[in-house]
Structure 1
Amino acid sequence: MTILYWVLVLVMLVGIVGAVVPGIPGSSLILGAILVWGFVRGFDVIGWALGTTLVILLLSVGVDFLAMHLGAQRAGASKWGQFGAIIGLVLGFLGLLPAFLVAGPLIGILVGPIVGAFIGEFLYRRNLPLEERAKTSFKASVGILVGSLVGNLIQGLLAIAAVVVFIATTWSTVG
């Protein structure tokens, strides 16, 4: 039983990394590990941990979108830039952007939103002179990137909190 517990904690640590690094499942790995422990030891043992993780999973999804949105707003990005970032994220993840066919989805997830936001803003700001248009588009894409990075860091902190709650509430049941 002790070996399983530590394997599940290890899976949760991978989940913490996944909460910060795009392309690796984060909170869902933590939730899955908690559910496995619940099936093995009984769900009465994991009540607090499960409840906390479910809340954190929901918060993580919201935080990611909110942080990207706020970063975009602070940088002056339009809806076109935000929509372009989402399209770039999806295309990058699927490896559908030409440069990322070789590099893979992890690079696509990181660079796709920046490229998408830049293109979206560039198309939206077509009434500006070329140089100003490019600067505005670049600023918007950097704002979206910064917002996304802040969101990932917050997701990492939330994931750490979920693992700490799990260990604190289940430590006495190991053995």
Structure 2
Amino acid sequence: MEFLILIVSLLFVLAGIAGSVLPALPGPPLSWIGLLILYTTPQMPFNYTTLGITFVITLLIVILDYVIPAQGTKRFGGSKYGIWGTNIGLIVGIFAPIPLGFIIGPFLGAFIGELIYDQNNSKRALKAATGSFIGFVASSFIKFVFCMILLGIYIHTVWKYWNVWF
């Protein structure tokens, strides 16, 4: 039974790593749930500190995942139209049937939003859309690094208690 729990928890952690670059999957929450499942094994002492700290960081990263692309748009001179376009494009891009829609969506959303704001300034719209893309890449990188840290915690914990299980 413990082996099954180990496999399921590892699958959650790995799905979280995949979700750090695929917006359709909530990466850090999936990885954190994998840790939570790992700590439910009967032979392992429940580590409230590790789970508490990683939970707070997971919540912070989930919030920042929506803020960072919009801030990228703003930092590159985008207006509120561009920020709204980024957020709408992110949501539409997730469900779009085109490959890599989750990357193209925020970029196009910011670009279209800026063109709605000022039709005569396509250079500014392109600059704001580039900021949106950079924000998306930065957000994905942060999620990926955090999910890899959670994988490291998983591996360390399994290694530490390996002889207890088998």
In the superposition, the TM-score normalised over structure 2's length comes to 0.83
Q: Which amino acid aligns with 1:168?
A: H
- State the shift of 1:23 in Å: 1.9
Distance 1:40 1:142 in 2: 46
From the superposition, tell whether residues 41 and 48 of structure 1 become closer, same or farther in structure 2 (CA, over 3 Å): farther
- 1:69-88, aligned counterparts within 5 Å? 69-88=70-89
Q: Which amino acid aligns with 2:92?
A: L
Range 27-36 or range 83-92, more displaced: 27-36
- State the shift of 1:58 in Å: 1.1
Match of 2:117 in 1: 124
**1:56 and 1:162 in contact (8 A); partners too:** no
In the superposition, the TM-score normalised over structure 1's length comes to 0.79
- State the shift of 1:153 in Å: 0.1
Match of 1:12 in 2: 13
Percent identity among equivalent residues?
Answer: 31
Q: Which runs of 5+ in 1 are unaligned?
A: none
Deviation by residue 1:50-79 (Cα, 9 ceiling, x = unmatched) = 223312211211332332133112210111
**1:18 and 1:26 in contact (8 A); partners too:** yes
Deviation by residue 1:28-63 (Cα, 9 ceiling, x = unmatched) = 211222222233337843423322331221121133
Distance 2:134 2:49 in 1: 33
- 1:91-102, aligned counterparts within 5 Å? 91-95=92-96, 100=97
- 1:41-52, aligned counterparts within 5 Å? 41=42, 44-52=45-53
Q: Which runs of 5+ in 2 are unaligned?
A: none
**1:64 and 1:151 in contact (8 A); partners too:** yes
Distance 1:134 1:164 in 2: 45
Asked if 1:112 corresponds to 2:135, the answer is: no
Match of 1:58 in 2: 59
RMSD: 2.3
- State the shift of 1:143 in Å: 0.7
Match of 2:40 in 1: 39
Q: Which amino acid aligns with 2:106?
A: P
Range 106-115 or range 161-170, more displaced: 161-170
Q: Which amino acid aligns with 2:28?
A: S
Deviation by residue 1:59-108 (Cα, 9 ceiling, x = unmatched) = 2113323321331122101111010111112222233xxxx3xx2xx632
